[in-house]
């Protein structure tokens, strides 16, 4: 229905076919999207805007659409290339002051009042008297400047960045400054999740094609085509998460042709398949009853997706598609020994685990985390790693996602070789009774693993599902069996100064979950016990540069009042034995009750460098955990939650 009303997204005067997209048009679309809370309307606005971009782009020119999509998801290139926006508040304040002639103090005071630097930039610009109307900004120009800013490093890079931002802001009109500043901050805050952008892109492609071909479709036919287009786009993007590849193909062959053209490609990491937690072996058997499945060791290391291109180039990617080849030069070096001659190009899914080279013993994740993250030299490496491969996703030019796990595993074992202490296949057992699983679970823990991964073995249910938390993969961790439940990944959004000996560092921290639908962080608990002095110092060093003057607008603080607020960036894994309703925190508010949910007695487990703030646990999962716990306690809800 939202699509029928055709949102009016064009700007006065429009822009001619073949001309670059005016930045004002994108800013207008952002503004309209921000102005509604309805998801369908947001998508309809973006769809209408993308249709204009497609229709007015010159033939064979995909840049406008590509850049528009990137700015909608606040990126400049695919994830794995590691070019990021996220300019610090102080630099932006400086640039706003310089380009508007207002003092730093005034800008800071405004920021305190508004809580949104984008708004402050826009208001500062609009209250400024200008003699000349600046030349309109174009999308390619803004995009190239943002890229230049993101890529500026080295000496005097801060001053250079401020210089470029200042000039960019000077050319802004109306609402443009608001969105340029928010893009620079790394958060658009228009409530448009990445998957809605994907949906809008698919719909725009279908509708633009319909117009071009002058098709007349019934409502039913239109709805079916839109749904099919969206499905195709989602599946293509999960296999090849790079708009650099998908958008040119989309414009060339249309939505129906892209599945053939865009397939898993070594060098472009795909989002990994994830598992659902289970509480007990009985639950595993209930879910997999009558099906063939396998249990594998759940190794306690770091996920590593290893790609080898046909030319021999090797890339190691993390769980969130970061390039880790510089962190693991030893893995890259070890790899040729583990490959059989018949193996040319491939993608394997594996866990990199710290091992003791002399005894061959697996070491816990804490050992692995002692390794440097960047520019590691093989000769300096103290903590050795071994790769445990559990899946093969691509082999010699052919994607294998739609083969059964049994077939993929067979190919994996045929095409790779075990090298003790360097490469092995994940230990597995295709056992099916509770007793057998119990014994295998205990052995896995004795061998230094976290527990088991239980996976469907045959039928299409065992196909590899990129980016899905699938019911066809279950995790059975030793911790759950002790009754404490799954861990949570939470974002550190604030801190409290320490007392006594700890006054020079933070003593406790405010954590939040992430609501990806509403693009907001919801506070969940304060954590302040069980930290070593050394850890507190490290945490201080990492978090201090992220301090911000004012709580960000997308942090739903509730009644939490930390001494300092942070840019949401750092993710910690935390265990809890107990969840309770809370008058203070906002996590999962409205899902179970009007009150939020908080964690009682949270225990810190590890820093999750491999997760971004928006990978943090979501409110639905927290509500689910709370409800499960209430069920276990036969419905007796606890009250409380303290700050
Ligand atoms: P977790 O906190 O459990 O690591 P997660 O959200 O990172 O959670 P899950 O899908 O919940 O990911 O757990 C699976 C993780 O366990 C994988 O990401 C991978 O790093 C690790 N792992 C270890 N051994 C295996 C295995 N045999 N098969 C799949 N994943 C494995």
Tell me the mean pLDDT per 10 residues along the chain, length 643.
67 92 97 91 95 93 96 94 88 94 94 90 87 89 97 90 95 95 90 88 96 92 96 95 97 95 97 90 88 96 97 95 93 95 96 92 91 86 94 97 98 97 96 86 92 96 95 87 74 91 87 91 94 93 90 90 95 89 95 93 90 94 87 49 41
Return the DSSP state at 640: -
Residue ranges in 79-218 assigned as alpha helix (H): 89-100, 104-114, 117-126, 139-151, 157-170, 176-185, 194-213
Given this model, what pLDDT does residue 637 score?
A: 38
Alpha carbon of 444 to ligand 1 centroid (Å): 14
Q: Are 364 and 445 in contact (CB under 8 A)?
A: no
68 neighbors 47 (Cβ within 8 angstroms): no
Q: Which of 271, 270, 276 is nearest to 615 (CA)?
A: 271
| Ligand 1 contact via 575 beta carbon (within 6 Å) | no
Query: Among 272, 273, 274, which is best to mutate for testing ligand 1, by the most ligand atoms less than 8 A from CB?
Result: 274
Q: Nearest 5 degrees, angle CA 403-CA 234-CA 612?
A: 100
Q: Look up the ipTM and state it.
A: 0.95
pLDDT digits (tens, 9 = 90+) for 57-97: 998 899 999 999 999 999 999 989 989 888 888 899 999 99
* pLDDT at residue 487, as a whole number: 86
Compute the distance from residue 511 Cα to the ligand 1 centre, in Å: 23
Ligand 1 within 6 A of 390 CB? yes
Q: Quote the CA–CA distance of 290 and 299 in Å, as a whole number.
A: 27
369 close to 573: Cβ distance less than 8 angstroms: no
Ligand 1 atom index nearest CA of 390: 27
pLDDT recorded at residue 638? 39
Do residues 34 and 183 lie in contact, with contact meaning Cβ atoms separated by under 8 Å? no
Q: Identify the active-site residue in 125, 178, 298, 477.
A: 298
Give 115-141 pLDDT, tens digit per residue.
889 999 999 998 887 777 889 999 999
pLDDT at 485: 65
**E strands along 409-545, which residues?**
423-425, 428-429, 451-456, 469-477, 488-497, 506-515, 520-527
Contact 49, 4 (CB under 8 A): no
Q: Is 298 a catalytic residue?
A: yes
The preferred substitution site among 278, 295, 303 for testing ligand 1, maximizing ligand atoms within 8 Å of CB, is 303
> How remote is the CA of residue 329 from the centroid of ligand 1, in Å?
22
The whole-number pLDDT of residue 636 equals 40
What is the distance between the alpha carbons of residues 513 and 280, in angstroms, rounded to a whole number?
26
């Amino acid at each position: 229905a939202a699509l029928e009303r055709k949102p009016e997204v064009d700007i006065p005067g429009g822009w001619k076919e073949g001309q670059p997209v005016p930045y004002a048009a994108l800013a207008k679309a952002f503004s309209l999207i921000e102005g509604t809370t309805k998801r369908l309307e947001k998508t309809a606005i973006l769809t209408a805007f993308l249709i204009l971009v497609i229709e007015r782009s010159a033939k064979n020119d995909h840049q406008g659409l590509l850049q528009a999509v990137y700015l909608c998801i606040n990126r400049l290139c695919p994830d794995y290339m590691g070019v990021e926006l996220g300019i610090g508040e102080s630099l932006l304040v400086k640039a706003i002051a310089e380009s508007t002639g207002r003092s730093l103090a005034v800008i800071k005071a405004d920021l305190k009042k508004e809580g949104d630097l984008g708004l402050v930039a826009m208001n500062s610009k609009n209250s400024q008297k200008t003699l000349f109307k600046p030349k309109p900004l174009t999308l390619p120009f803004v995009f190239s400047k943002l890229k230049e800013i993101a890529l500026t490093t080295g000496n005097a890079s801060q001053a250079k960045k401020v210089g470029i931002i200042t000039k960019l802001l000077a050319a802004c009109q109306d609402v443009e400054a608001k969105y340029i500043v928010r893009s620079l901050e790394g958060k658009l805050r228009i409530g448009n999740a990445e998957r809605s952008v994907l949906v809008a892109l698919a719909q725009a492609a279908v509708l633009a094609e319909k117009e071009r071909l002058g098709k007349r479709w019934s409502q039913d036919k239109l709805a079916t085509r839109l749904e099919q287009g969206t499905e195709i786009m989602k599946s293509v993007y999960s296999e090849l998460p790079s708009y650099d590849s998908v958008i040119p193909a989309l414009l060339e062959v249309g939505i129906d042709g892209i599945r053939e053209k865009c397939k898993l490609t070594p060098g472009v990491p795909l989002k990994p398949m994830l598992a659902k937690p289970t509480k007990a072996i009985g639950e595993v058997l209930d879910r997999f009853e009558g099906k063939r499945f396998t249990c594998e060791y759940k190794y306690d290391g770091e996920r590593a997706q290893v790609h080898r291109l046909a030319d021999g180039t090797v890339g190691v990617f993390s769980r969130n598609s970061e390039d880790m080849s510089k962190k693991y030069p030893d893995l890259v070096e070890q790899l040729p020994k583990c490959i059989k001659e018949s193996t040319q190009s491939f993608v394997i899914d594996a866990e990199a685990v710290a091992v003791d080279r002399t005894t061959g013993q697996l070491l816990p994740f804490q050992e692995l985390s002692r390794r440097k993250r960047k520019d590691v030299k093989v000769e300096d490496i103290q903590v050795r790693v071994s790769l445990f491969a559990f899946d093969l996703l691509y082999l010699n030019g052919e994607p294998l996602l739609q083969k059964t796990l049994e077939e993929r595993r067979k190919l994996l074992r045929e095409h790779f070789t075990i090298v003790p202490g360097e490469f092995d296949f994940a230990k597995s057992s295709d056992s099916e009774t509770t007793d057998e699983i119990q014994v295998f679970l205990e052995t896995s823990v004795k061998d230094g693993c976290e527990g088991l991964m239980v996976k469907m073995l045959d039928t299409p249910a065992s196909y590899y599902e990129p980016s899905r938390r699938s019911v066809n993969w279950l995790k059975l961790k030793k911790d759950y069996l002790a009754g404490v439940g799954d861990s949570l990944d939470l974002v550190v959004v604030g801190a409290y100064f320490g007392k006594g000996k700890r006054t020079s560092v933070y003593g406790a921290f405010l954590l939040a979950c992430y609501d990806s639908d509403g693009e907001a962080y919801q506070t969940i608990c304060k954590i302040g016990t069980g930290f070593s002095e050394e850890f507190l110092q490290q945490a201080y060093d990492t978090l201090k540069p992220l301090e911000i003057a004012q709580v960000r607008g997308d942090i739903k603080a509730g009644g939490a009042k930390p001494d300092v607020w942070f840019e949401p960036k750092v993710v910690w894994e935390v265990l809890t034995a107990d969840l309770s309703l809370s008058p203070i925190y906002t996590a999962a508010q409205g899902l179970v009750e009007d009150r939020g949910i908080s964690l009682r007695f949270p225990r810190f487990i590890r820093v999750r460098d491999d997760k971004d703030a928006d990978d943090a646990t979501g409110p639905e999962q927290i509500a689910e955990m709370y409800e499960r716990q209430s069920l276990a306690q036969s419905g007796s809800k606890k009250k409380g939650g303290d700050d």
